[in-house]
Amino acid sequence: MSTSRAMLPLRRQLHTSALRRSHIGKVPIPIPTSVTLDLPPLSISPSIPASSSQAQRVFSVTGPLGSASLPIAPSVILNPPTATSPHITVSVQDPKAKTQRSLWGLTRTLINNAVTGVSAGFTVEVRLVGVGYRAAIEPIPPVFLNLAKQRSSESPDSLPRDRLNIKLGFAHPVLIDIPPDIKVAVPIPTKITLTGTDKQKLGQFAATIRQWRKPEPYRGKTIRLKEIKKK
């Protein structure tokens, strides 16, 4: 052994624990009795091109609060609920493939969010922390509604009707249009309650409100978000 090789520093092991992966994809999804499912074909070959009509698999769910649908990848297998087991189980054709393994847990989470959204819904609580901070709901003036109808190609029913008027210490109020698929309530001036069936849209709207006032570490003024878990 040469001297230069013997003097090389030894590599240190930062940790000795084994690599652990998430197994959320294997967790069954409970289906409430008030929910109706429309499942795609059980499985198709992953070699089918994504642009092919056979690869267009859609999972649809309908509940007392609305309906939702999401695309399912060809490699994902959905096992429907049975009379003895009212659950949906998700699996993939090749668990050793990295791309399929990444879709496994993601698909299970999206399906679970869709089922929870149409059956129980999601609620996010927004707290305004600061002197003079307050919020109120007001209708959008007809002038702005007419302008929105002229510029938008969407249906008038899909356009916002109300908006949030929030005072956050600026020289002007912050006006935020409320999407039609999200319900907003202001029980007290410093508390805003957001309710909806789509978790992603609900979180995006809550983030839109929060971006107007970032946390201040010295004076403690901020906008806090809290997701209300359904029991």
**pLDDT for the residue 102:** 85
Specify the pLDDT at position 156: 72
Q: Of the candidates 204, 164, 165, 202, which has an alpha carbon nearest to the alpha carbon of residue 181?
A: 202
Domain ranges of the chain: 24-119, 122-228
Identical topology for domains 24-119 and 122-228: yes
d(CA 197, CA 182): 8
Tell me the backbone φ, ψ of residue 99, rounded to 5 degrees: -65, -40
What backbone phi and psi angles, to 5 degrees, belong to 115?
-65, -45
CB 58, CB 74: distance < 8 Å: no
- Does the structural domain 122-228 have CATH classification 3.90.930.12? yes
Reading the chain (231 residues) residue by residue, the pLDDT tens digits are: 555 555 555 555 555 555 556 678 889 999 998 999 988 876 676 677 667 777 778 899 999 999 999 998 888 888 888 888 889 999 888 888 888 888 888 999 999 999 999 999 999 999 999 889 999 999 999 898 888 888 877 777 778 889 999 999 899 999 999 999 999 999 999 999 999 999 999 999 999 999 998 888 788 888 999 888 765
- For residue 85, which phi and psi values (nearest 5 degrees)? -135, 95
Predicted local confidence at residue 13, as pLDDT: 55
* Three-class HEC string of the chain: CCHHHHCCCCCCCCCCCCCCCCCHHHCCEECCCCCEEECCCCCCCCCCCCCCHHHCEEEEEEECCEEEEEEECCCEEEECCCCCCCEEEEEECCCCCHHHHHHHHHHHHHHHHHHHHHHCCEEEEEEEECCCCEEEEEECCHHHHHHHHHHCCCCHHHCCCEEEEEECCCCCCEEEECCCCEEEEEEECCEEEEEECCHHHHHHHHHHHHCCCCCCCCCCCEEEEEEECCC
Domain boundaries 24-119, CATH class:
alpha beta
pLDDT at 45: 67
Beta bridge partners of 58: 71
Q: What is the pTM of this model?
A: 0.81
